[in-house]
């Protein structure tokens, strides 16, 4: 049970990394992390809104690797506004989270969209540096802005 809790915590951290801005200070605490399947972790807003879900991280598999690395497969991360409306959904078939350097990376695809689906970005290969909040999508970056997502930017 304790091991499961650890892997859940680590998965949440990795997911938060992919989410870029959910919790910049989060570091995986994964000493003693073990393999986990079909994990889900829920984070709530702070004391002023304890009942409201802030994010849900799920994955099909989490595999600890030597050197403080953690492979997460079928990552799916959802965040919510304080009023409960969906904010962002991030998915990646697989990513490698380096707990030592605080980076998450993958040669595979990354897909991100807003809760209403009107803004979507995807690409192949990505690196997230947690220390300076820097995201690089390496190739074939595709951004789609659906009608209605465009705000009136005119003065």
CA distance 60 to 101: 24
Any contact of residue 42 with other proteins (CB under 8 A)?
Answer: no
CB of 123 to other proteins, least distance (A): 7
DSSP 89-124: EEEEEEEEEETTTTEEEEEEEEEEEETTSSEEEEEE
Any contact of residue 85 with other proteins (CB under 8 A)?
Answer: no
Any contact of residue 50 with other proteins (CB under 8 A)?
Answer: no
Any contact of residue 154 with other proteins (CB under 8 A)?
Answer: yes
CA distance 3 to 112: 30
CA distance 102 to 17: 8
Number of residues that bind other proteins (CB under 8 A): 38
Indicate the residue among 2 and 48 with the shorter CB distance to other proteins: 48
Any contact of residue 134 with other proteins (CB under 8 A)?
Answer: yes
Phi, psi dihedrals of residue 108, rounded to the nearest 5°:
-90, -175
Any contact of residue 3 with other proteins (CB under 8 A)?
Answer: no
Residue 8: DSSP 8-state: H
Judged by CB under 8 A, which stretch of 4-12, 65-73, 91-99, 129-137 contacts other proteins?
Answer: 129-137
Indicate the residue among 68 and 109 with the shorter CB distance to other proteins: 109
Return the residue of 29, 40, 65, 139 that touches other proteins, per CB under 8 A. Answer: 139
Any contact of residue 30 with other proteins (CB under 8 A)?
Answer: no
Any contact of residue 5 with other proteins (CB under 8 A)?
Answer: no
- Give the contacts of 10 (CB within 8 A, at least 6 positions apart): 28, 29, 30, 33, 62, 70, 97, 99
């Amino acid at each position: 049970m304790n091991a499961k809790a650890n892997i859940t915590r680590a998965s949440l951290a990795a997911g938060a990394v992919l989410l870029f801005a959910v919790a910049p200070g989060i570091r995986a605490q994964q000493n003693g992390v073990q393999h986990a399947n079909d994990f889900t972790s829920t984070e709530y807003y702070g004391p002023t809104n304890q009942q409201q879900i802030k994010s849900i991280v799920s994955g099909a598999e989490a595999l600890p690797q030597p050197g403080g690395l953690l492979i997460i497969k079928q990552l799916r991360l959802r965040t919510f506004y304080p009023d409960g409306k969906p904010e962002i959904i991030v998915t990646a078939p697989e990513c490698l989270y380096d707990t030592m350097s605080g980076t998450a990376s993958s040669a595979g695809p990354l897909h991100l969209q807003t809760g209403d689906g009107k803004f979507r970005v995807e690409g192949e290969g990505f690196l997230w540096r947690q220390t300076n909040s820097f995201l690089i999508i390496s190739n074939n970056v595709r951004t789609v802005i659906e009608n209605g997502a465009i705000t009136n930017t005119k003065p």
